[in-house]
Amino acid sequence: MKEASGYPGIESYGVIGNCQTCALIQREGSIDFMSFPEYDSHSVFAALLDQNKGGSFHTRPQAPYDKSFQEYILDTAVLTTRFLSEAYNVEFTDFMPMKSDGKPERNQLVRKISLIRGSLSFELILNVLIDYGKVDTQIDYVDAHTVVFKNEAHPEGLKVRSSMAIVEEEALVEQFSLEEGEDAFFIIEAAKEEQPEATIAEQCEELNIKLHDTIHFWHQWIKTCKYTGDFAEHMKRSAITLKLMTSAKYGSTVAAPTYALPEKIGGDKNWDYRYAWVRDAAFTMYAFMRLGFIEEASHFMKWIYDLIDADINGDVELQIMYRIDGSRDLDEEELDLEGYKRSQPVRIGNAATGQLQLDVFGELMDTIYLFDKYGQNVMYSFWRNVEKLIDFVCKNWENPDHGIWEVREVKRHYLFSRLMCWVALDRAIRLVRKRSLPTDVSQWIENRNRIFQDIYDNFWDEELQSYVHFKGAKTVDSSLLMMPLMKFISPYDKRWVKTMKVIEDQLIVDDVLVYRNLHDSIPNKGEAVEGSFTIGSFWYIECLSRGGEVEKAERYFQKLMSHSNHLNLFAEELSPSGAQLGNFPQGFSHLGLISTLFSIDRQKGQNTFVLKQ
C-alpha cells in the first residue's frame, strides 16, 4: 500500500537479480527501481525516487482483490506476488534468468502472469526513464508485441516485449485480458538483443525453461551452505541477497543496488551505494567464506589483485570505493528528481571516493589473511604490493581521517580507524610468519605495538570509564563494537565491559536498536533523526554472544528479526516507527546478520557453518 506521501514504504519491496543488476518489486507488483544493464548503470525505473516521472512497470489487476501475498520460491531469488479474491486468483512470477550451471545468461527481467481462476483485465503501466531523464526518452513501436525506449545518450535503448499484443496504432495499450488457465509473459532487456524468430508459443516455452533453470541454479548454489540452525531461513536469505549484489563478471560487490534512498525522511544524506566499497566487499567475502562460498571469495580476490596491481605503482592510490569494473570515475552529481518522500538532493556518483579512510586497509588485510587461510595461498607477486599497503599504514596511521561513517565536514583521530590499522599490521605479521614470507616485519611489529598503546592510553576516558569515539570525545560510537570482534580486546576485559555499558546507555533503544554517532554527541532518540544503524545492532548482539551472554544474544537476535520486512530483508537503517531507511537491501546489514548468527551458534557449541575458528 502507498502511504499518504504517495510512496510505498522502503520495507514493502523485494529484490530480484542475476549477478549483473537488480530490480526492486513492491509487494503489490510494481517494479519501481532498476539500473540497467549493470548495478552502476543509469536507472531505467526509478519511481521509488520520483513517483511522477521516475519510471515503473506494472500489470495491475483491474478488479478489486481481498488479499495479496509476496514471497520467494524457497531458497531462490525468484519472487512471486499473488492476488486473491472471490472472483479470481492471479500470480506474478518475477525473475532475472540464470543458467542452471551458473554461466552467463542473457540479461533480462521476466514477468510471468498466471491466471489461476476466473477472468481478469490488467492495466499496463510502462514508463521508462533513460539516463536519469537528462534527455527526453523516445519510444519506437517495433511491432505489436515490442517497444524500445531510447534517447540521444543511449541510442541502443531498452526493449520491452510481451507474449500479449501491447501496441495498437503506434501507442501502448492501456490494458489486456486473460482467461482462466492462461499465462502472459513480459521481457525487459537491452534493445540490441535480437528479435526472436520463434512463435509466441515457442517463446513462452523457452521462458518457462529459463524459469526452471533459474530455480535450479539457486537451489544448487545455496546447497553449498550447510547451516541448519534455528534461523536458517534468515541466514539463507542473507546469503542469497549478498550473492545478488555480487558481479559474476567482475567479482566485486556493491554496497546496495539503489541510490539516494534517505537515511532520514526529508534529510539530505542521500547517497549512491551502487559501487564496490573495499570495506563492504571485504566483509562480504568473509561472510561468503564462513558459509563455504569460496568461489565468490576467489573472484573477489582476483578483482582485488587487479585493482591493487593497477593502483599501487610507486605511490599507494587505493580508493575507498570503485565502480564494479574497478574504474575510478565516480563524479557526484544531483538529479532533477523529487526524491523518496521529497528527500533531496537525489545524488548519483559519490564524492567520498576521494576521502582518506584508514580503516579500509584493516578490512582488506583481514580478508587477505582469511582467504590465505581458508581459500588459496596468496601469490608472492601480489604480496609484494600488499607490503606497500602495509608500509603506507605504518607511515599514516597517526593521521586523522574521515572515518568509517565518511564524515565530510572534518577529519579526526577515530578509534575505529586506529583499530583497523592495528588489524592490518597484525594480520600481515601473522601471514608472514604462517607462510615464512621473506619480509622484514620489525617496523610492522613496532607500529602495531605503538597503535595498541595509543588506543589503550589516548582513547580511554577516565571520567566516562569508557573508550571513546575519537580523541578528545566524551561519547561512544557503534563502531567501537568491533574492538572485541577484531580480537583487539577480550570481551571479558574490564575496560570493555565498562565500554559496553556506556554504549548501551548512550546508543541503544528498545534492547536492539543501535545508533551511530557521527560527531561528539549522544544521538537524540526521541526526535526525527536518522534511524538506528542495523549493522550496529548485529555487532552489539555478536558482542553479547562472545561475552558469554548467549541466551540474551539469541533473544535479541530474534527481536531484531522482527524488524526485517516480509521477505527477511533489511535496509541500512530503521526508524523509531520500524520503517526501513536508507538504500535497500543493504549488504552491510545482511553480512552482519550472518556473522552474528555464526557467533551465536559457535558459542552454543552448535556451529554448523563450514569454517571453524
Are residue 196 and residue 271 in the same domain, yes or no?
no
Give residue-wise pLDDT tens across range 22-81: 999 999 999 999 999 999 999 999 999 999 999 999 999 999 999 999 999 999 999 999
**Mean pLDDT score of the chain, rounded to an integer?**
93
3-state secondary structure 547-598: CCCHHHHHHHHHHHHCCCCCCCCCCCEECCCCCEECCCCCHHHHHHHHHHHH
Give residue-wise pLDDT tens across range 544-579: 999 999 999 999 999 999 999 999 999 999 998 899
Are residue 133 and residue 238 in the same domain, yes or no?
no
pLDDT value at 437 more than 90: yes
pLDDT value at 231 more than 70: yes
pLDDT band for position 197 (cuts 50, 70, 90):
confident
Question: Greater confidence, 317 or 418?
Answer: 418
Contact 367, 425 (CB under 8 A): no
pLDDT value at 287 more than 80: yes
Q: Among candidates 73, 87, 80, which has minimal Cα distance to 29?
A: 80
Give residue-wise pLDDT tens across range 492-504: 999 999 999 999 9
Residues 461-482 have a mean pLDDT of: 96
222, 247, 279: which is the final residue of a domain? 222
pLDDT value at 527 more than 70: no
Tally the domains of the chain: 2
Are residue 154 and residue 271 in the same domain, yes or no?
no
Are residue 157 and residue 295 in the same domain, yes or no?
no
Are residue 28 and residue 48 in the same domain, yes or no?
yes
The span from the CA of 342 to the CA of 30, in Å, is 20
The structure's pTM equals 0.95
Are residue 387 and residue 435 in the same domain, yes or no?
yes
Residue 124 sits in a domain of what CATH number? 2.70.98.40
Contact 592, 543 (CB under 8 A): no
Q: Where in the sequence is the domain holding 264, given as residue range(s)?
A: 232-603
- How many Cβ atoms are within 10 Å of 384's Cβ, its own excluded? 12
User: pLDDT at position 4, please?
Assistant: 53
pLDDT value at 523 more than 80: no
pLDDT value at 612 more than 50: no
Phi, psi of 476 (to 5 degrees): -110, 175
Are residue 416 and residue 342 in the same domain, yes or no?
yes
The span from the CA of 319 to the CA of 253, in Å, is 15
Are residue 119 and residue 246 in the same domain, yes or no?
no
pLDDT value at 532 more than 90: yes
pLDDT value at 522 more than 80: no
